[in-house]
């Protein structure tokens, strides 16, 4: 269960994450540590753990973090973005994680909006982005992002899962039949994430939204059930300008999904 930080650092030279990695053998949650660092004034950093004892997923769900078998990492970033565009960070991270999986295993992961990584229909990873808003300079000024903590969990070398998860979860080793290097996947993820964050700050948002839409089978034409607003069903109809999912619901109303909880019907 050893982890070679130096091997990762050598592969991310030139990125904004170089020299930032802190490794833990066990920790409650890498996102919690990153948030604490941000509240203390830090604006960059990477925290990776062999095991999380209180890992968190989107919507308050617990993330299953078997010691040494997965990648459990959080990155602290502070891109210059309006707060209304914060969801784009999650979408960009999904694209970065998908690229890292393809680079290290040749698997083509799907992305279930906004934050789940799927291989052959089963979940192999998840993303949790937690943000903070900067105080506006004036009453008329647009609210800007203060910082974002990007948490990523990827099932790498899990050979089996608890009974309640076995039907819906998978790992890269299960899918490829081969063990996967945590260091290689982390290095590929940080390189890809660095590129995506640069693009996010320099390119129009619609380019990211287009790339996400053509990558994810969930964005358009997927029949889904959505948990919010008492639950409803319909067919996905693309993304709006802020990255939120649109669904043509069965009652004839086009709805905007705000908080996730989208499942295939």
**Which CATH number fits the domain that encloses residue 81?**
3.30.930.10
In the predicted model, is pLDDT for residue 7 greater than 90? yes
What tens digit of pLDDT does each residue of 119-159 get?
Answer: 999 999 999 999 999 988 777 888 999 999 999 999 999 98
Residues 185 and 207 in one domain: yes
Condensed to tens digits (0 to 9), the pLDDT of residues 26-52 reads: 999 999 999 999 999 999 999 999 999
**Is the Cα torsion angle 44, 50, 54, 59 positive or negative in sign?**
positive
Task: State the total domains in the chain.
Answer: 2
Residues 39, 155, single domain; the answer is: yes
Which pLDDT score is estimated for 58? 52
The pLDDT, as a whole number, for residue 62 is 55
CA angle 114, 166, 224 (to 5 degrees): 35
Taking 90 as the threshold, does the pLDDT of residue 252 lie above it? yes
- Encoded tokens for 67: 């010691």
Per the prediction, the chain carries an average pLDDT of 93
Residues 122 and 241 in one domain: no
pLDDT given at position 56: 63
> Are 161 and 246 contained in the same domain?
no
Q: In 3-78, which ranges are continuous DSSP H helix?
A: 5-11, 30-39
Could you read off the pLDDT of 185-236 as tens digits, one per residue? Answer: 999 999 999 999 999 999 999 999 999 999 999 999 999 999 998 999 999 9
- Position 167 scores a pLDDT of 87
- The span from the CA of 189 to the CA of 98, in Å, is 9
Share of the chain above pLDDT 70, in %: 95
Are residues 130 and 37 located together in one domain of the fold?
A: yes
Whether residues 188 and 240 fall in one domain: no
The rounded percent of the chain whose pLDDT value lies above 90 is 83
Over residues 79-83, the mean pLDDT reads: 92
Under the banding of pLDDT at 50, 70 and 90, the label for residue 97 is: very high
Same domain for 186 and 224: no
**pLDDT of amino acid 1:** 67
For residue 75, pLDDT over 80 is answered with: yes
Judgement on whether residues 177 and 148 belong to the same structural domain of the protein: yes
Residue 180 and residue 250 in one domain: no
Q: By 3-state DSSP, what share of the chain in percent is helix, strand and coil, each rounded to 5? A: 30, 30, 40
Q: What is the pTM of this model?
A: 0.93
Measure the CA–CA gap between 102 and 111, rounded to whole angstroms.
Answer: 13
Q: Residues 88, 196: one domain? A: yes
In terms of domains, do 225 and 206 share one?
Answer: no
Query: What's the CATH number where 229 sits?
Result: 2.30.30.100
Q: With cut-offs at 50, 70 and 90, classify the pLDDT of residue 166.
A: confident
In this structure, are 236 and 250 located in the same domain? yes
- For residue 230, give its domain range: 220-264
pLDDT range class, residue 64, cuts 50, 70, 90: low
Query: Does residue 60 register a pLDDT over 90?
Result: no
């Amino acid at each position: 269960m050893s982890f070679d930080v130096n091997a990762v650092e050598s592969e991310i030279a030139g990125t904004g994450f170089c020299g930032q990695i802190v490794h833990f053998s066990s920790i409650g949650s890498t996102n919690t540590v990153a948030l604490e660092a941000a509240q203390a004034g830090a604006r960059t950093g990477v925290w990776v753990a062999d095991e999380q004892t209180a890992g968190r997923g989107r919507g308050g769900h617990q993330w299953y973090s078997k010691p040494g078998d997965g990648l459990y990492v959080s990155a602290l970033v502070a891109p210059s973005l309006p707060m209304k565009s914060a969801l784009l960070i999650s979408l960009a991270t999904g694209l970065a994680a998908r690229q890292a999986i393809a680079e290290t295993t040749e698997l083509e992961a799907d992305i279930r909006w906004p934050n789940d990584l799927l291989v052959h229909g089963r979940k192999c990873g998840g993303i949790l982005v937690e943000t903070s808003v900067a105080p506006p300079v004036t009453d008329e000024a647009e609210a800007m992002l203060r910082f974002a903590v990007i948490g990523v969990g990827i099932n790498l070398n899990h050979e089996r899962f608890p009974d309640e998860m076995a039907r819906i979860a998978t790992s890269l080793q299960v899918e490829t039949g081969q063990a996967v290097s945590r260091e290689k996947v982390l290095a590929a993820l940080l390189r890809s994430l660095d590129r995506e964050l640069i693009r996010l700050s320099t390119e129009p948002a619609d380019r990211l939204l287009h790339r996400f839409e053509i990558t994810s089978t969930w964005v358009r034409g997927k029949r889904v059930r959505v948990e919010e607003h008492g639950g409803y069903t319909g067919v996905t109809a693309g993304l709006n300008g802020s990255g939120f999912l649109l669904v043509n619901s069965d009652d004839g109303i086009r709805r905007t999904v705000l908080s996730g909880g989208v499942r295939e019907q």
